[in-house]
């Protein structure tokens, strides 16, 4: 049950518009190639962090394998998501 509670709290902290969230889901799920034009990466932003926005990316290679792993050049930790909905519910949208 704790995992469910955490997901609900994070979903409520998503500050992006419903349109931004919907576009992210649609384009990442559909593997729209144009969102991967910059270094074969889909660039994302997240506003759920208190101090500042976080920026990251999903590689085209990972997305094509159904792996939604958010990486960042600023942080060594990789965030693994089961699917696009989990990624968006955690506050990530297209940048």
DSSP-assigned beta bridge partners for residue 95: none
Contact indicator for 92, 50 with CB cutoff of 8 Å: no
- Domain ranges (residues) in the chain: 2-94
Q: Tell me: the pLDDT tens digits for 17-70?
A: 999 999 999 999 999 999 999 999 999 999 876 566 789 999 999 999 999 999
pTM for the model stands at 0.80
CA 58 distance to own-chain centroid: 8
Return the beta strands (E) in 21-67 as ranges: 41-46, 54-59
4 versus 83: the higher-pLDDT residue is 83
CA 6 distance to own-chain centroid: 17
Give the span between the Cα atoms of 74 and 89, in whole angstroms. 22
pLDDT above 70 as % of the chain: 81
């Amino acid at each position: 049950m704790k995992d469910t509670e955490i997901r609900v709290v994070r979903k409520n902290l998503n500050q992006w518009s419903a349109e931004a969230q919907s576009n992210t889901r649609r384009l990442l799920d559909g593997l729209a190639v144009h969102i991967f034009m910059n270094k074969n990466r889909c660039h994302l932003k997240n506003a759920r962090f208190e101090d500042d926005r976080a920026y990251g990316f999903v590689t085209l290679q990972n997305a094509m394998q159904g792996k939604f792993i958010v990486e960042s050049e600023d942080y060594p930790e990789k965030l693994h998501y089961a699917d696009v909905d989990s990624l968006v519910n955690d506050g990530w949208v297209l940048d």
